Amino acid sequence: MTTTSTPTEDLSALASAHLWGHFSKLTPEDAGGTLVIERGDGCYVWDHTGKRYLDGLAGLFTVQAGHGRRELAQAAAAQAEQLAYFPVWTYAHPTAVRLATRLAALAPGDLNRVFLTTGGGEAVETAWKLARQYHVMRGDTGRYKVISRELAYHGTTLGALTITGLEGIKEVFAPMLSDAGIKVPNTNSYRYEDTSPEALLAPAEAIEAAIVAAGPETVAAVFLEPVQNSGGCFTPPEGYFAKVREICDRHGVLLVSDEVICAFGRLGSWFGADRLGYQPDMITMAKGLTSGYSPLGGVMVSDRIADAFLDADEAFLHGITFGGHPVSCAVALANLDLIEQEGLLGHVTGHEALFRKTLEELLDLPIVGDVRGMGYFYGIELVKDTTTKETFAAEESDRLLRGILTPKLIAEGLLCRADDRGEPVIQLSPPLTAGPEEFEEIGRIIRLALLDAMEAMGH
């Protein structure tokens, strides 16, 4: 096939004709066709027609340091010139070694080993396989089951999808999935009638009940996000992770902190486990590790787990061609430099109260039921009635989110997530460089969109 240059105005049509978007219909989401984002700078991106948008989701909870960072592009170019590719199968290369050493110094407790992947789903699947082989090597050959929370998203590969708690994206693939996944309640307490400390800790108690019901000798690991993404930024109650840690220790189960979103400043700390004060056995990571400038993920692993492999002189039977790619590792190192040099962790903790306040000002609208999250990671739950907390029916939710809110938000110049994985929510996760000016713009545009939605829905 002959390839010719493409006029800018044809990009949207060509995308609609040839590019199969992830979690996307093959027909464009709206009459304007597929939105093609061409460039970015700071907290903003521009489409191929020149229209500017505030990136209220940091790409996909990813672009921590902001768009258009020349330092990260230069780090990639310099590494590609020196060593563009070499695997970390038996061998090593300098950027992987330096990155692993740097991450071990940043991670909480004894998480001193790093297994590198290319993304978050691979990291989650790696952690599950690692937990399984660890138990087998110690003689606990019956341990393979994994516990995670309802609605939680942990990835879409078949292993990670088993851990994911979203039935809507699993149903068609059910015959291909393992029966090893066990689901427990999440920590969304918005509709709790009893909000006593004991009631709030019920989801932690449910983890122990699930372990006992499955048979502790069959359970390998528990996977939990510090703040659960899917469903709309569910934060844990006081004492939740301390309780879960105690339960896992009592039953010999590994605790995996899935921080594909929550690490590298999203919650105002290097790792979400730091912010929430608990010690996991493994941490999965990706996204913000490179600010999205190059694909990279990984698993931080405790000395306790690594020592079992050292003592047995056994290899972990797992590997990925592009895991620990030299260019991606160089970008990650430069990205960690930027986060440190520009004080982005402190920037987030110093501004999160204003960000929350800006979003909570939307609670005066009768369609806004709840605002929750922490750091630069928030969800706004939408309801039909704030007094009864009545939610929208499935068809109403689809119309609200896809037919009204998303087109209006895009038209007004804000990219964020209007999501129905659970109750309808708007999710926000701007670059960590965002400040008061961006918060004001986010609040203004969301208010406009919600007012339109209220009128259209007869609210």
Are the CB atoms for 284 and 299 separated by under 8 Å? yes
Say how far apart CA 80 and CA 317 lie, in whole Å.
Answer: 29
> Residue holding tokens 């750091």?
375
> Which of 276, 309, 341 lies at the terminal end of a domain, its last residue?
341
Mean pLDDT, the chain cut into blocks of 10 residues (459 residues total): 52 85 74 82 96 98 98 98 96 98 98 98 98 97 98 96 94 93 97 95 98 98 98 97 98 98 98 98 98 98 97 94 98 98 98 98 97 98 95 93 94 94 94 98 98 88
Burial 36-53 (b: 16+ CB within 10 A, else e): beeebebbbbebbeeeeb
Same domain, 393 and 317: no
The DSSP element (H or E) to which 374 belongs, if any, is: strand 368-374
Same domain, 337 and 353: no
- Sign of CA pseudo-dihedral 110, 113, 118, 124: negative
Domain enclosing residue 157, as ranges:
71-341
Strand 219-224 vs strand 145-149: parallel, antiparallel, or unpaired?
parallel
Instruction: Give residue 120's identity as a one-letter amino acid code.
Output: G
Same domain, 452 and 374: yes
- What's the pLDDT score for residue 59? 97
- What's the pLDDT score for residue 285? 98
Are the CB atoms for 202 and 185 separated by under 8 Å? yes
Same domain, 328 and 404: no
Does a structural domain hold residue 13? no
Mark out the alpha helices in 252-316 (DSSP H runs): 272-276, 303-312
DSSP, res 403: I
Does a structural domain hold residue 11? no
- Please compute, for residue 392, the number of CA atoms within 13 A of its CA located in the half-sphere on the CB side: 27
Does a structural domain hold residue 29? no
Give the CATH number, domain containing residue 221. Answer: 3.40.640.10
- What's the pLDDT score for residue 3? 45
> Which of 341, 371, 401 lies at the terminal end of a domain, its last residue?
341
Same domain, 189 and 302: yes
- What's the pLDDT score for residue 25? 80
Say how far apart CA 124 and CA 299 lie, in whole Å.
Answer: 8
Same domain, 220 and 237: yes
Strand 417-419 vs strand 425-428: parallel, antiparallel, or unpaired?
antiparallel
Same domain, 386 and 238: no
- What's the pLDDT score for residue 422? 86
- What's the pLDDT score for residue 21? 83
> Which of 341, 358, 383 lies at the terminal end of a domain, its last residue?
341
- Sign of CA pseudo-dihedral 291, 416, 399, 9: negative
Strand 145-149 vs strand 377-382: parallel, antiparallel, or unpaired?
unpaired
DSSP, res 236: P
- What's the pLDDT score for residue 392? 93
Same domain, 114 and 263: yes
Other C-beta atoms closer than 10 Å to the C-beta of 455 total: 10
Does a structural domain hold residue 7? no
Does a structural domain hold residue 353? yes
Same domain, 95 and 189: yes
Give the CATH number, domain containing residue 373. Answer: 3.90.1150.10
Say how far apart CA 281 and CA 245 lie, in whole Å.
Answer: 10
**Tokens, residue 424:** 């309808």
Are the CB atoms for 46 and 39 separated by under 8 Å? yes
Does a structural domain hold residue 1? no
How many residues belong to the chain? 459
Does a structural domain hold residue 330? yes
Same domain, 359 and 287: no
Same domain, 61 and 86: no
Crossing angle between the packed helical segments 326-341 and 344-360, to the nearest 10 degrees: 70
Does a structural domain hold residue 284? yes
**Tokens, residue 438:** 């961006």
Same domain, 287 and 379: no
- What's the pLDDT score for residue 28? 64
Instruction: Give residue 432's identity as a one-letter amino acid code.
Output: L
Number of domains in the chain: 2
Say how far apart CA 453 and CA 239 lie, in whole Å.
Answer: 38
Other C-beta atoms closer than 10 Å to the C-beta of 312 total: 12
**C-alpha distance from residue 192 to each of 10, 41, 195, 204, 423 (Å):** 51, 42, 6, 15, 15
Say how far apart CA 451 and CA 11 lie, in whole Å.
Answer: 32
Mark out the alpha helices in 185-277 (DSSP H runs): 197-200, 202-214, 240-251, 272-276
